[in-house]
Amino acid sequence: ALFVVLFALEVALKMAGLSIAGYFSDTWNRIDFCVIVASVMMVLIRSAISSLFAAGVLVLAPARAVRLLRILRTIRTISIFSHSHKLRTLTRLFVQMRPVIVTILGTILMILYAYLVIGIEAFKGKAVYSAEER
């Protein structure tokens, strides 16, 4: 709920700075607005459902609607990536570096496995499990 409030505050500040018509002239701002409205609805529905559960009323259909509204939050992440050239460049770089990263991680895992085998052989039978075995 805190993030929903923060994002709603961001939308309000953008509307104040750009004017309402200027804010809605950008497509991503319209998408952000829809996501924020859906998120606020989700928070309200969730609080209503929890109060109904506390009262002993069983509600299942609105809970499914809340799950569907959660999917809309991912749209906000997509809009962040589309606005930021640096994030797109970084993501593209990580995708291109994937084979190198997998090779490095594989090498690290093999080294750790070798140390594991050496440690097991070196300390086999030397571990003390209880005070009676000392």
Query: Is 134 among the domain residues?
Result: no
CA 50 to chain CA centroid, nearest Å: 23
Q: What is the pLDDT of residue 27?
A: 85
**Do 60 and 27 have their domain in common?**
yes
Residue 50 has pLDDT above 90, yes or no: no
**Do 101 and 44 have their domain in common?**
no
Taking residues 50-56, report their average pLDDT: 67
Question: For residue 66, what are the domain limits?
Answer: 1-83
Question: Are 81 and 75 a contacting pair, CB within 8 Å?
Answer: no
Q: Is the pTM of this model over 0.85?
A: no
Q: What is the pLDDT of residue 105?
A: 96
* Conformation bin of residue 87: beta by default, left when phi > 0, alpha when psi is -120 to 50: alpha
**Do 105 and 73 have their domain in common?**
no
**Cα distance between residue 133 and residue 79, in whole Å:** 62
Query: Is 76 among the domain residues?
Result: yes
Number of domains in the chain: 2
Residue 13 has pLDDT above 90, yes or no: yes
Q: Report the helix count and the strand count for the chain, using DSSP H and E.
A: 6, 0
Question: Are 72 and 39 a contacting pair, CB within 8 Å?
Answer: yes
**Do 39 and 1 have their domain in common?**
yes
**Crossing angle between the packed helical segments 73-83 and 27-55, to the nearest 10 degrees:** 160
**Do 53 and 74 have their domain in common?**
yes
